[in-house]
Structure formats: C-alpha cells, structure tokens
Structure 1
C-alpha cells in the first residue's frame, strides 16, 4: 500500500536523509526517498549526521539533496515530515497531499524532530535518537 515513501525536512542534508537511510534498511522492499522544502540542492549528508549513520552501520554515501516538487509529492504514497510547520507548508503548497502527510514522530507521541543543523554533536545525537525511535515505529507499522 505505502510503497513510495517520501521523507521531508528543510535542507535535505540532516534529518530526512538520516530517516531515509534508516527506513531503507528496515523496509528494503519499499522505495524510500527524501527531499527538502528549502533543499541545499546536490549537497551530501551533513558530516555529523553522516558520522552517526555510519557508526550505526547505515550507509551515508551518495546522497544528493533535492528540492521537493509537484512530481515528487504526487509520486509518494506517504509523506513523513519532521515538524508541524512542515505539515502546514505541504498542505498549503500541495493540498492534494494533505491526507498522506504525517509527522515522522507520529507514533512516538506526535513528537517534532528539531533541526540540528549547525548545532552541537550532542544535539545531533539527540535528534538522531528521535529519528531512530520514530523510524522503528514506522518500520513496525509498514512491514
């Protein structure tokens, strides 16, 4: 049912690619991609996020940040976002996607996942943990 899953944050270099790589590992039979609302187009995964992924045994290589678009949104069966304001933005820009857009943190108490960009390693670790917990819940629901 949910075979094409899109994960969205702002820059598409920290949170969404981290969740993308974790969910790809948990749900290898699904097409899981990511994009940004204000993407740093063609950038790789931010170095702190990449280090956390690599340390946990996920592959952080070969990511290229991309900007969300009508085509990307319409191809997705499920769109997972990090914050309430991302939900609001998608509902405004892509009204048809409202019903298929949810918080990544939905199953962990509707938690928002804050942006760690340009913050400390401790912040990255906390955010990574939240992403991991959220992905575990989605992985269980979608497998």
Structure 2
C-alpha cells in the first residue's frame, strides 16, 4: 500500500505527509481564508505551510469584514490576510489542495492536470457538499458558512497531523 493510500485509510498512522496545504475558493476573501486560518490555528505546532488563493482573487484585498469578524469571535485572527491569485505553480507545489466547490476542483484539475490527484473538497469527510459563497450576503450566511467550514476543517485534522487534535 502506498504512503498516500495509508494516509487516507489510517490517519492515526500519519506522519505529517502534507507539508504544504493550499485552500482555494473564488475571491480569496471569505471561505478559503477562513479555512486557512482555522487550519493554521489547529495545526500551528505541526510545521505545515497553510496558505490560500482564489480562482478569481480580489488580489491584495483583506478578508471580508464580516468573515473576519465571525472568525475573530471564534478566537482566530485573520487580519493579516491578503487575497492572492491562484497559479498552476501553486497547485503543483502543494501537497494537498482543498476546494470549496466541485466546480473549483474541476477548474483546478484543468488548470494543472498533474495536480488533480491532490485536489479535494474541503467537505470531503462530512457530506461532500459545496461550501456556499457568503460574499455580499447577510451575517447569518457568514455564520452558517463558518460552521460548515469549521466542521469540515475538524474532519481533516486527523489526516493532517500526527497527533489527534
């Protein structure tokens, strides 16, 4: 059995195979930075590099104010975030790419076919659902999306750390 297959089937035996994790959405101001900073918060001692980018990024923009506020209310500071445009090089360099929607997975797989095996939905281990984009919606939409992202991030933690989180 390959090391990657063992990683998925037996996360308790993992040894931090994923050193470079990339989280992707569209604008890189709501969903992907929320997941990025939650993963950083939980994996801070693991030595992994966790970043985010957007398929159509609002380059250099900070996190959306509502997303930042909701994240902060959960004890995580995302104020340093600045949106970045996704490149095929980022996809190739990452060990794992987590996408918010199936269509994002498809677009990234076309962008860098050689990376397609490491591009997965953030919600893979919950319901395999798309994480809706709350951009320019109500605070309730941001709170709902935060809850979905936090649940999905929680299910990835055993696969991303050599210790149970």
Whole-Å separation in 2 of the counterparts to 1:85 and 1:70: 16
Q: Name the structure 2 match of 1:3.
A: 19
Are 1:98 and 2:116 an aligned pair?
yes
Cα drift, residue 102 of structure 1: 0.1
Cα drift, residue 62 of structure 1: 1.2
For these two proteins, the number of residue pairs brought into alignment is 143
Matches within 5 A, 1:45-124: 45-124=63-142
Cα drift, residue 71 of structure 1: 2.0
TM-score, normalisation: structure 1: 0.98
TM-score, normalisation: structure 2: 0.85
Whole-Å separation in 2 of the counterparts to 1:3 and 1:126: 29
Q: Name the structure 1 match of 2:36.
A: 20
Are 1:30 and 2:40 an aligned pair?
no
Whole-Å separation in 2 of the counterparts to 1:61 and 1:140: 27
Cα drift, residue 141 of structure 1: 2.0
Query: What are the ranges of 5 or more consecutive residues in structure 2 without an aligned counterpart?
Result: 1-16
Matched residue of 1:106: which SS?
coil
Whole-Å separation in 1 of the counterparts to 2:68 and 2:88: 28
Query: What are the ranges of 5 or more consecutive residues in structure 1 without an aligned counterpart?
Result: none
Cα drift, residue 31 of structure 1: 0.5
